[in-house]
Amino acid sequence: MGDAGGNGVSEPTRQVRLGDIAVARSGDKGDSANIGVIARTPAAYDLLRDRLTAQAVERYFAATGVVGVVRYELPNLGALNFILPGALAGGGSRSLRIDAQGKALGQALLEMVIDLPDERDGRDAER
């Protein structure tokens, strides 16, 4: 439970896997990775816009050394795009990493668990 509104009143929350309310596609832009997260419904986009912050994504990928994540909102697409600077250790042509183009990062992010208000989980809204 958390105080999402900052008014001292806790609202009931539940944990939902990001992949239950969104899909993702990721790739490389030089040394940086980008991850597009597309909500499955308009209600899910509203929840993602409020809960899936650049700071949350940075914390999720902290073990990889990613810092300075930037988030861009694409409301007409119901999507968020995250840029992870320096995440690819040199990029596709220079990196020795197994996933030098960052193609697996989107799938990894979909495993992230986020807290959502109990009465709204984004899956019940229709397009």
SS in 3 state form for 4-58? CCCCCCCECEEEEEHHHCEEEEEEEECCEEEEEEEECCHHHHHHHHHHCCHHHHH
Domain at 18-116, CATH class: alpha beta
Going from N- to C-terminal start, the domains of the chain cover 18-116
**DSSP-derived 3-state class of residue 95:** coil
Please state, in angstroms and as integers, the Cα–Cα distance from residue 101 to each residue in 33, 48, 70, 108, 125, following that order.
Answer: 7, 25, 18, 14, 34
Bigger pLDDT: 6 vs 77: 77
Bigger pLDDT: 61 vs 120: 61
What average pLDDT does the segment 39-60 reach? 95
Global pTM value:
0.78
